[in-house]
Structure 1
Amino acid sequence: MDLGLGGKTALVLGAGGGLGGAIAKTLAEEGARIAVADINLDAAEKTAADIRAKGGSAAAIEWDLADLAKIAPNLAEIETKLGSVDVLVNITGGPPPTLVSGQSVENWRKYFDSMVLSVIAITDAVLPKMRENKWGRIITSTSSGVIAPIANLGLSNSLRMSLLGWSKTLAGEVGKDGVTVNVILPGRVATQRITFLDAQKAEREGKSIEEVAAASTSSIPLGRYGDPQEYADVVAFMASSRSSYLTGSVIRVDGGLIASV
């Protein structure tokens, strides 16, 4: 199936990590030019090198999402090297496990800037060219916690939830310009983040990581953690020309974990 991504430019945030890296490589395999953005330049360079080794086109960009002043120069660099952004995949790092109560105002502001405001500002910066071209894809990765809040992930549950209202509203504003806006959320996909959270839970509860992982997978109908590639494949469809009638939606890639319909 031709996804119609040949010659398109995709900006993937967090592309040095497990989910972002898989997404960047998958979009590259479909013919897109990839701006590989990550706070860790070495990780971004590795993803970009993997893409180039397979004949793809990629540029690594060091990008601290909390630094909003970097948006304009980073996008200018991408446009010079790869062209204007046709596909934006918003992925932000998660905050540390916390209760939702008793957090300082400074902590809320810190993670609001890096997890919410950065996504909004970057999207606003790439939208004009997408609307001019009458084609664009905005895909924002959040968490299953926006549907069923996860215990001890208070900051993540709260801040990521705001991106759903923003995304749905934006979809209604730009749809007639050929730009689709959707949210995708992972369940328990096997990444370093999930390993970290399992380790934190094991420490809190006095259990082994293996015990925590076994209990977690027992609640997933498919009986296992997801593979980052399975997540990336869904993103690739959402980014494609084939998804032209999909907008304003929240897509779960969770192995059936979330109990609600």
Structure 2
Amino acid sequence: MDTGLSGRTAVVPGATSGLGLAVARSLAAEGANVVLGGRRGELVRAEAEKLPSAVGVEVDLTDPGATDALVGAAQERFGPVDVLVLNGGGPPPGVAVDFTPDKLAEAVALLVQPHQRLVGAVLPGMRGRGFGRIVAIGSSGVQQPIDRLVASNAARAALAGYLKTLASEVAADGVTVNMVLPGRIATDRVGVLDRANAERSGASEEQVRERAEAAIPVGRYGTPEEFAAVVTFLASAAASYVTGEQVRCDGGLVRAH
């Protein structure tokens, strides 16, 4: 399948590890020019150097200046942004009974506002050129809330509502907007959550993982590469008729329709 990504320019924040890095590598393998963003400057630049056509930019997405830094680097090095991947770190675990307005505001500042700023920066150009791909890395908690992750559940659901609304407004301009929902993917973030669950329950981390895998019909955690392949498809020319969707990549974990 020809993805049509060769020569396209993609921006991928949160790309020093985990899902973001896997997506950056997958897009680069299809011939895209990739701008990787991350808070660890040396690491993001080192990862970019491993790709055929990429640049790494040290940014903290919660800083409003991060938008200009990422988009500016893309335009200076490669040209207009064709593909925008929305990705960033998640908030700490917590339960709903302890969730305060201040904690909600912090979650929105982390998971909604930075992505909205990025969309606002690239969307006019995408619409003017008649092509654009916006793909958000979400969470299965958007469709089936995850225990003890109230901040993530609430803020990612807000982002999902914004993107779903946006998708219908820009579809006729050749811009697609989708969200990919990972389940239990073997990343450092999931490892941290497993360790926290082990400490809280008194079980070993291995036992926690075994219980989690038993709840997944596929019977295992997914790999970042499997997840990145779904994002890459949605960023491709082949996915031109797919928009406004929440695509699960979870091994069947979420049982809802």
TM-score (norm 1): 0.96
- Cα distance in 2 for residues equivalent to 1:218 and 1:38: 34
Letter aligned with residue 248 of structure 1: G
2:96 aligns to what SS in structure 1? coil
Contact kept, 8 Å, 1:25 with 1:47, in 2: the verdict is no
- Cα distance in 1 for residues equivalent to 2:61 and 2:107: 10
Structure 1 match to 2:118? 122
Aligned residue-pair number? 257
Equivalent of 1:231 in 227, 233, 249 = 227
**1:166-205 equivalence runs, <5 A:** 166-205=162-201
Structure 2 match to 1:38? 38
Q: Aligned residues: percent identity?
A: 43
* Cα displacement (A) at 1:249: 0.5
Q: Deviations over 1:80-106 (max 9, x none)?
A: 012111000001111111112323433
Structure 2 match to 1:110? 106
* Cα displacement (A) at 1:158: 0.5
- Cα distance in 2 for residues equivalent to 1:239 and 1:74: 18
Equivalent of 1:144 in 140, 146, 150 = 140
Contact kept, 8 Å, 2:35 with 2:73, in 1: the verdict is no
Q: Deviations over 1:161-210 (max 9, x none)?
A: 01111111101111111000001010000000010000000000011000
2:97 aligns to what SS in structure 1? coil
Letter aligned with residue 126 of structure 1: V
Structure 2 match to 1:23? 23
1:70 aligns with 2:92: no
Letter aligned with residue 35 of structure 2: A
1:137 aligns to what SS in structure 2? strand
1:150 aligns to what SS in structure 2? coil
Contact kept, 8 Å, 2:108 with 2:155, in 1: the verdict is yes
1:10 aligns with 2:10: yes
- Cα distance in 2 for residues equivalent to 1:253 and 1:203: 27
* Cα displacement (A) at 1:108: 2.2
- Cα distance in 2 for residues equivalent to 1:77 and 1:42: 16
Contact kept, 8 Å, 2:90 with 2:110, in 1: the verdict is no
2:112 aligns to what SS in structure 1? helix
- Cα distance in 2 for residues equivalent to 1:225 and 1:240: 25
Letter aligned with residue 231 of structure 1: F
1:37 aligns to what SS in structure 2? strand
1:260 aligns to what SS in structure 2? coil
Unaligned runs of 5+ in 1: none
Contact kept, 8 Å, 1:35 with 1:82, in 2: the verdict is no
Structure 2 match to 1:259? 255
- Cα distance in 1 for residues equivalent to 2:97 and 2:147: 12
Greater than 4 Å deviation, 4+ residue runs: none
2:84 aligns to what SS in structure 1? strand
CA RMSD of aligned residues (A): 1.1
- Cα distance in 1 for residues equivalent to 2:235 and 2:198: 37
- Cα distance in 1 for residues equivalent to 2:30 and 2:70: 24
1:101 aligns to what SS in structure 2? helix
Contact kept, 8 Å, 1:16 with 1:46, in 2: the verdict is no
